[in-house]
Amino acid sequence: MLVYNSQTHAKQELEPIEPGKIRMYVCGPTVYDQIHIGNGRTFLSFDVIRRYLSYKGYQVTFAQNLTDVDDKIINRANEQGRTAEEVASEFSEAFICQMRRLNVLDPDIRPRATHEIPAMIEMIQGLIGQGNAYAVDNGDVYFSVRSCPTYGCVSGRKVDELQVGARIEENEDKRDPLDFALWKGAKPGEPSWDSPWGKGRPGWHTECSAMVHRYLGTPIDIHGGGADLIFPHHENESAQATCCWHEPLANVWMHTGMLRVDGEKMSKSLGNFFTLKEVLDKYPADAVRLLMLQTHYRSPLDFSYERLDGTVGSLDRLTGCVANLRWAADQASASDHEVTDADHALGAAVAGAREEFGRQMDDDFNTAGALAAVFGLATASNAYLDQMGGDVCTSATLRASDTLVELLGVLGIESVRPATTELPHELVTLAAEQAGYAGDDADEAAKALLAARAAARAEKDWARADAIRDGISALGLVMEDTAAGTRLKMASAGKAEA
Ligand code: AMP
Ligand code: ZN
């Protein structure tokens, strides 16, 4: 399968370092506030990449850090009169909670910067020992960019061009304006740890290299993040690791395109953001996933609530299709069905959708193309149901619904799966009252009620027909007319999720 390596600007065959295994790392959030849906897009993209690699049979080890010490956290803590630790702990939990609501799988390893200080100090000592870093009097330690012959290899920037663009900073402790902090000497009121250079805390780029090395071993197969991390963050991570351990940090660097609002990158500083929490309070996670996955992960994604509303409709269409297929198969199970060309055509549509899904995902995780294959199968399935009336081929019909559920499941879209608790048992009582039903099966009771209502309508006994309908809706059910007949289903829960 092909993956796009932003380091080479080209797609390349994915060749795991260890056969059958993928080790991947995706930079996590700085936990000073709720994340916004732009951040959510990046984490969701890598969730799907990870899920698909597992689906292909790779044994995937996925690590993601929490940056729980940083200027932004310290500033937020000072504004609110709290400790940095309190702020970081609150928003680490909030991040984990929102990721789970979005059905993003937990990482296998979730290191926190504040728990990894010894590994970072060890890396910095290694860099100083090899002449790639230097400590200055105030307790800061800097990475010497010009000491790294491969500097620029991730972002494609040249050191001399960077030099021209570098701001003349007031910081006179640095030997070169290009150098960046590996360790920052403690300032009053800031969290700090003991180190060979006195009390201090790590610079932002330090943690990821140290964690990747400690938990996954370098080089790893895939290193990911949003495209805004390519420079300087990933460039610096790469330089630290390459100089310290004399190996590249990652074989493939993958970066997601930015989520935008009105053409502008969503960001905290511009104020044009929606938090993931507020969006998930209003919309089902699967609608958010569907919206995001309808754009390739490397392309920019224009977000609007109008688009998200449209996606709710698309999700309903898929859910309805799966439910109607299963229901039609259920109704038809007793009948003798003679195999027709239409059955073969549905079988071919299933096989075609599977193949196309795999082809699109194998081409650098083209979820937009993969979803087009899924929607194509839904359209073919609906057409089949319309054409066949109630006389469907059970196995072809179930294969179509199972395939829709399976392929969407690979993308982490799981609400289309039919509920296990199909119809409420109260239907039995209602059917006993309204339709003279004497059994104890909710599905049979539904049939009896629908037959009684149809009979009442045929006799123009509207009062009775309405009473049956009202009884049904009082149980939270609605009637849906399908080609295979009328069926009862749970009324849609609407946009909001509990
Ligand atoms: P941060 O906490 O700022 O480091 O961001 C966490 C992740 O979200 C990083 O991988 C960023 O690249 C990514 N990110 C930030 N803004 C956006 C955006 N508007 N669209 C997509 N990803 C973003
Ligand atoms: Zn990182």
Q: Is the dihedral of CA 404, 410, 415, 419 positive or negative?
A: positive
d(CA 274, CA 267): 9
Task: Assess whether 387 and 450 both reside in one domain.
Answer: no
Residue nearest to atom 15 of ligand 1 (CA): 39
Task: Assess whether 218 and 334 both reside in one domain.
Answer: no
pLDDT surpassing 50 at residue 494: no
Residue nearest to atom 17 of ligand 1 (CA): 38
Ligand 1 and 29: CB distance under 6 A:
yes
Helix orientation angle between 305-332 and 394-410, rounded to the nearest 10 degrees = 150
Report which ligand 1 atom has the smallest distance to the Cα of 301: 20
C-alpha 290 to ligand 2 mean position (Å) = 27
Q: How confident is the model at residue 325 (pLDDT cuts 50, 70, 90)?
A: very high
Contact 186, 139 (CB under 8 A): yes
> What is the pLDDT, as a whole number, of residue 498?
31
pLDDT surpassing 60 at residue 472: yes
User: Does 496 fall in a domain?
Assistant: no
Structural domain span for residue 469: 426-490
Domain count, the chain: 3
User: Does 6 fall in a domain?
Assistant: yes
d(CA 75, CA 106): 28
C-alpha 307 to ligand 1 mean position (Å) = 21
Mean pLDDT of the chain: 94
pLDDT surpassing 50 at residue 277: yes
Ligand 1 and 28: CB distance under 6 A:
no
Express each pLDDT in 181-237 by its tens digit: 999 999 998 999 999 999 999 999 999 999 999 999 999 999 999 999 999 999 999
Q: What is the CATH number of the domain that holds 372?
A: 1.10.730
First to last CA, the chain: 39
- Tell me what the mean pLDDT of segment 138-144 comes to: 97
Task: Assess whether 337 and 406 both reside in one domain.
Answer: yes
Which one of 352, 378, 410 terminates a domain? Answer: 410
User: Does 346 fall in a domain?
Assistant: yes
What value, to the nearest 5°, has the Cα angle with vertex 262 and ends 257 and 263? Answer: 40
- Helices (H), ranges, 102-134: 117-129
User: Does 392 fall in a domain?
Assistant: yes
Task: Assess whether 136 and 185 both reside in one domain.
Answer: yes
Task: Assess whether 403 and 430 both reside in one domain.
Answer: no
Range of weakest confidence among 89-93, 347-351, 463-467: 463-467
> What is the pLDDT, as a whole number, of residue 169?
59
What letter does residue 459 receive in the DSSP assignment? T
Ligand 1 and 40: CB distance under 6 A:
no
> How many CB atoms within 10 Å of residue 41?
24
> What is the pLDDT, as a whole number, of residue 193?
98
Q: What is the CATH number of the domain that holds 168?
A: 3.40.50.620
pLDDT surpassing 80 at residue 401: yes
d(CA 137, CA 173): 8
Of 225, 238, 233, 189, nearest to 298 (Cα)?
A: 225
Task: Assess whether 8 and 143 both reside in one domain.
Answer: yes
> What is the pLDDT, as a whole number, of residue 24?
98
C-alpha 27 to ligand 1 mean position (Å) = 9
Structure-token pair, residue 5: 């390596």
Ligand 1 and 34: CB distance under 6 A:
no
> How many CB atoms within 10 Å of residue 435?
21
- Tell me what the mean pLDDT of segment 297-312 comes to: 97
User: Does 271 fall in a domain?
Assistant: yes
C-alpha 141 to ligand 2 mean position (Å) = 19
Ligand 1 and 38: CB distance under 6 A:
yes
User: Does 265 fall in a domain?
Assistant: yes
d(CA 246, CA 236): 14
Of 404, 294, 410, 405, nearest to 346 (Cα)?
A: 404
> What is the pLDDT, as a whole number, of residue 164?
65
Task: Assess whether 364 and 249 both reside in one domain.
Answer: no
Instruction: List beta partners, residue 261.
Output: 264
pLDDT surpassing 60 at residue 497: no
Which one of 346, 380, 410 terminates a domain? Answer: 410
Instruction: List beta partners, residue 109.
Output: 63
> What is the pLDDT, as a whole number, of residue 298?
98
Backbone region of residue 331 per phi and psi (left: phi > 0; alpha: psi in -120 to 50; beta: other values): alpha
Ligand 1 and 254: CB distance under 6 A:
no
> What is the pLDDT, as a whole number, of residue 214?
98
User: Does 294 fall in a domain?
Assistant: no
Report which ligand 1 atom has the smallest distance to the Cα of 224: 10
HSE, CB side, 13 Å, CA atoms: give it for residue 146: 9
Ligand 1 mutation target, pool 42, 87, 234, 256, most atoms within 8 A of CB: 42
Q: How confident is the model at residue 420 (pLDDT cuts 50, 70, 90)?
A: low
- Tell me what the mean pLDDT of segment 444-464 comes to: 93
Task: Assess whether 323 and 250 both reside in one domain.
Answer: no
User: Does 289 fall in a domain?
Assistant: no
Which one of 261, 282, 303 terminates a domain? Answer: 282
Task: Assess whether 118 and 223 both reside in one domain.
Answer: yes
Ligand 1 and 224: CB distance under 6 A:
no
pLDDT surpassing 70 at residue 493: no
Ligand 1 and 261: CB distance under 6 A:
no
Task: Assess whether 341 and 266 both reside in one domain.
Answer: no
Task: Write down the residue that tokens 């539904």 correspond to.
Answer: 446
Single pTM value for the model: 0.90
Task: Assess whether 99 and 207 both reside in one domain.
Answer: yes
C-alpha 492 to ligand 2 mean position (Å) = 41
Residue nearest to atom 18 of ligand 1 (CA): 38
Task: Assess whether 396 and 440 both reside in one domain.
Answer: no
Ligand 1 and 41: CB distance under 6 A:
yes
